[in-house]
């Protein structure tokens, strides 16, 4: 498998997604746009596109962020989908997927930063790629916005603070508003990038303090993400 990552910031690292790809000996390529690395000219070589999160939003212009070209990323996502590639979006990435499919992103009812449970919907409990998550699962969060929904999409999971946490747009295209890729190392980077996190934890009901976020064991969440990615790979190869 050829796995291509789009990474928007150093601290929005792929974490467990990269660990999975390396452990499966997949070929890995990157577009680290914060380093001004170009997006691929062609999607032909890509088997799975993984679009990471970031502080940007899909309606942000190049004038506002000189290295984030939302239109170009949306075009690449749309091209991958049209070619039948597997596509996974994380946070901002999930919002870009929805935009590529004609569904506008929106603002989440609550800011979520930390570890909070998601609950699978009826659709989620019968989705063969994520039903191993169980009815509820503690996962990472670091967001203000959420992806839009198409007529064909299915909401597979929600949280108390956000009604759209995991979405299947098709059998091979999934959006994760939540951050199942978090590891202690990635969390440390995110905490360093966040302004006044301790103050925010006292203001917002779904924002935890740095010590609480760092103390969490992310192993189970990462392992369940690995199984999802294995199942998605199998579906792409026509095994499932």
Reported as a single tens digit per residue, the pLDDT across 31-82 is 999 999 999 999 999 999 999 999 999 999 999 999 999 999 999 999 999 9
Whole-number pLDDT of residue 101: 98
Reported as a single tens digit per residue, the pLDDT across 74-83 is 999 999 999 9
pLDDT band at 228 (very low <50, low <70, confident <90, very high): very high
Whole-number pLDDT of residue 3: 98
The secondary structure of the chain, three-state, reads: CEEEEEECCCCCCCCHHHHHHHHCCCEEEEEEHHHCCCCCCCCCCCCEEEECCCCCCCCCCCCCCCCCCHHHHHHHHHHHHHCCCEEEEECHHHHHHHHHCCCCCEEEEEEEEEEEEEEECHHHHHCCCCHHHCCEEEEEEEEEEECCCCCCCEEEEEECCCCCCEEEEECCEEEECCECCCCHHHHHHHHHHCCCHHHHHHHCCCECCHHHHHCCCCHHHHHHHHHHHHHHHHHHCCCC
Reported as a single tens digit per residue, the pLDDT across 84-134 is 999 999 999 999 999 999 999 999 999 999 999 999 999 999 999 999 999
Phi, psi of 79 (to 5 degrees): -65, -45
Q: Considering the domain 2-236 in this protein, what is its CATH number?
A: 3.40.50.880
Q: Which residues contact 149 (CB under 8 A, 6 or more apart)?
A: 98, 103, 155, 164, 167
């Amino acid at each position: 498998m050829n796995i291509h990552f789009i990474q928007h910031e150093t601290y929005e690292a792929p974490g467990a997604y990269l660990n999975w790809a390396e452990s499966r000996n997949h070929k890995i390529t990157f577009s680290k746009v914060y380093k001004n690395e170009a997006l691929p000219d062609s999607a032909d070589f890509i088997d799975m596109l993984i679009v990471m999160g970031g502080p940007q939003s899909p309606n942000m212009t190049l004038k506002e962020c000189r290295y984030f070209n939302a239109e170009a990323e949306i075009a690449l996502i749309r091209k991958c989908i049209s070619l039948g590639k597997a596509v996974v979006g994380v946070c901002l990435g999930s919002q870009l997927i929805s935009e590529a499919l004609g569904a506008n992103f929106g603002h989440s009812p609550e800011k979520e930063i930390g570890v909070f449970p998601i609950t699978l919907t009826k659709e989620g409990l019968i989705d063969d790629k994520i039903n191993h998550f169980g009815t509820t699962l503690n996962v990472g969060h670091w967001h203000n916005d959420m992806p839009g929904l198409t007529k064909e999409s299915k909401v597979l999971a929600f949280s108390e603070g956000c009604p759209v946490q995991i979405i299947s747009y098709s059998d091979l295209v999934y959006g994760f508003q939540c951050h199942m890729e978090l590891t202690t190392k990635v969390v440390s980077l995110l905490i360093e990038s966040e302004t006044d996190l301790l103050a925010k934890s006292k203001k917002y009901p779904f924002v935890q303090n740095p010590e609480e976020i760092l103390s969490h064991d992310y192993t189970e969440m990462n392992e369940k993400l690995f199984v999802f990615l294995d199942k998605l790979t199998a579906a792409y190869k026509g095994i499932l």
